[in-house]
């Protein structure tokens, strides 16, 4: 903990996103962000691994079957944290200190409100929501317990995500990584104590995750309090600035709706997975957990591109926009191609960490082939969306994703998948890569039109204010 406080007390060197070569700066910003996302995923992975090895089949299925539902409920609010990044980075690029500080305090206030809403919703409606997902009766009570305990950590989860978006807007991705490392270590230790030592089953893993969320949130708040100048946070200055709040909602709600739409399609797919029974449910939960590490690695370049785009537009460096798109998309695709296929090659060994039963591993490999081997197309799709959103466009990516990615999956499930000859796991999961490819192609067309609205040359009037 002493080392953590030392890191918080040091002034971090901010990344210059508006001058010089793009790729080295993009990697400097993105790699710590990638590692932070991987650590955040380890919260849930630790739950699944500990439960799978020390609790039982029903417990593993209970924890795994809640992932899509958690994402569905949190993605709308996490979309707001994305818009905090866009707005703060835009002000940072323009050098507007006053607006940066008001954005910091508005973001912390809003994150607390969002977390409170999620906590109440999750605790009160957990059983009803799980029934809507067709969760089997033998799994439902455990799933409800886990979900309710997990959602007691929603307020700190939101505070951490909004706070890390603020730091990321100026290129500081290292301190959030340190804080998640501490919280992740606590999570793993508490998992072992609560599940193995105290025999608390799914309640133990949910509680361990919740406690770790509080630790990460406390560290991010202390970090902002210790900041000097524009990014300094003080509880007595908490506010909801109407102009900034409106901008956060205008950009963040469409981004959140897109996340909800993706999560909704995954809930529909999870319901279809549930129809194959506990073995496939356990296999899908393990496979999905492994896939998540590849996805967040690719998605880090989408988040990095969003920040780069926002800062350069705020600074009027329009000549750099095309290069930001090319560099970020190539990095995301390469990451997905390498990690996705590596995960599939070592799939048997990785799945065995979660569940060593041969039938579970076999079912997990069927899913991983359809998802991981084509994951680079998902990286391209997400990265072009990050670039578009960094340019300040929020509605178009949502509409395209609604029609292209999610609409196609849902139509597939309720038409082709319903036919007896196509009612297989492979035919269910093939809907993922098909939707990624189509949606990416449409997003590229949209970007080409949006780019024309910005000039090719840099802005020379440095006094111009960035438009929210």
- For the chain, the structural domain boundaries read 21-451
Helices vs. strands in the chain: H and E counts, helices first: 19, 0
pLDDT of 466 reads 53
pLDDT of 43 reads 66
pLDDT of 6 reads 42
Closest CA to 325 of 363, 382, 369: 382
What number is the average pLDDT over the span 214-224?
95
DSSP per position, 24-75:
HHHHHHHHHHHHHHHHHHHHHHHHHHHHHHHT-HHHHHHHHTTHHHHHHHHH
The H-or-E segment that residue 266 falls in is helix 242-274
Predicted structure pTM score:
0.79
pLDDT of 233 reads 94
What number is the average pLDDT over the span 383-402?
87
Q: How far apart (Å, rounded) are the C-alpha atoms in residues 343 and 313? A: 37
pLDDT of 134 reads 75
Burial zone of 219 (CB within 10 Å; 0-12 exposed, 13-18 middle, 19+ buried): buried
The region of weakest confidence among 93-102, 246-255, 273-282, 327-336 is 273-282
pLDDT of 461 reads 63
Residue 215 has pLDDT above 90, yes or no: yes
Who has greater pLDDT, 71 or 440? 440
For the chain, the average pLDDT equals 85
The region of weakest confidence among 30-34, 353-357, 377-381 is 353-357
């Amino acid at each position: 903990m002493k080392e953590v406080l030392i890191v918080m007390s040091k002034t971090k060197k901010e990344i210059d996103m508006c001058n010089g070569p793009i790729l080295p700066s993009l990697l400097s910003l993105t790699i710590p962000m990638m590692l932070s996302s991987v650590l955040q995923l380890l919260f849930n992975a630790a739950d699944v691994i500990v439960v799978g090895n020390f609790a039982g089949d029903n417990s593993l299925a209970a924890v795994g079957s809640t992932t899509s539902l958690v994402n569905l409920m949190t993605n709308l609010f996490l979309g707001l944290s994305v818009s905090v990044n866009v707005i703060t980075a835009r002000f940072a690029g323009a050098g507007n200190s006053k607006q940066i500080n008001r954005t910091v305090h508005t973001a912390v206030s809003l994150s607390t409100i969002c977390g409170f809403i999620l906590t109440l919703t999750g605790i009160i409606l957990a059983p009803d929501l799980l029934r809507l997902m067709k969760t089997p009766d033998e799994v439902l009570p455990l799933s409800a317990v886990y979900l309710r305990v997990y959602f007691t950590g929603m307020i700190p989860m939101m505070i951490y995500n909004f706070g890390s978006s603020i730091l990321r807007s100026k290129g500081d991705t290292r301190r959030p990584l340190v804080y998640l490392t501490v919280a992740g270590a606590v999570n793993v230790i508490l998992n072992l104590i609560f599940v193995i030592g105290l025999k608390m089953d799914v309640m133990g893993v949910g509680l361990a995750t919740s406690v770790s969320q509080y630790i990460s949130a406390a560290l991010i708040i202390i970090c902002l309090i210790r900041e000097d100048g524009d990014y300094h946070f003080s509880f007595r200055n908490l506010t909801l600035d109407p102009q900034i709040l409106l901008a956060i909602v205008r950009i963040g709600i469409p981004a959140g709706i897109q996340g909800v739409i993706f999560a909704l399609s995954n809930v529909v797919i999870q319901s279809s997975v549930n129809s194959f029974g506990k073995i496939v449910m356990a296999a899908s939960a393990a496979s999905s957990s492994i896939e998540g590490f590849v996805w967040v690695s690719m998605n880090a370049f989408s988040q990095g591109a969003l920040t780069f785009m926002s800062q350069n537009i705020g600074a009027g460096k329009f000549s750099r926009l095309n290069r930001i798109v090319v560099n970020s998309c190539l990095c995301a695709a390469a990451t997905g191609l390498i990690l996705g296929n590596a995960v599939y090659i070592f799939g048997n060994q990785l799945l065995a960490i979660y569940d060593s039963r041969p039938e579970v591993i076999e079912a997990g490999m069927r899913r991983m082939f359809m998802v991981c081997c084509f994951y680079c197309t998902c990286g391209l799709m997400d990265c072009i969306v990050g670039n578009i959103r960094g340019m300040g466009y929020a509605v178009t990516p949502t509409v395209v994703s609604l029609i292209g990615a999610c609409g196609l999956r849902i139509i597939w499930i309720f038409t082709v998948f319903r036919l007896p000859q196509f009612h297989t796991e492979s035919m269910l999961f093939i809907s993922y890569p098909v939707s990624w490819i189509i949606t990416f192609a449409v997003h590229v067309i949209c970007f080409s039109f949006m780019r024309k609205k910005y000039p090719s040359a840099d802005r020379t009037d440095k006094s111009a204010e960035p438009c929210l």
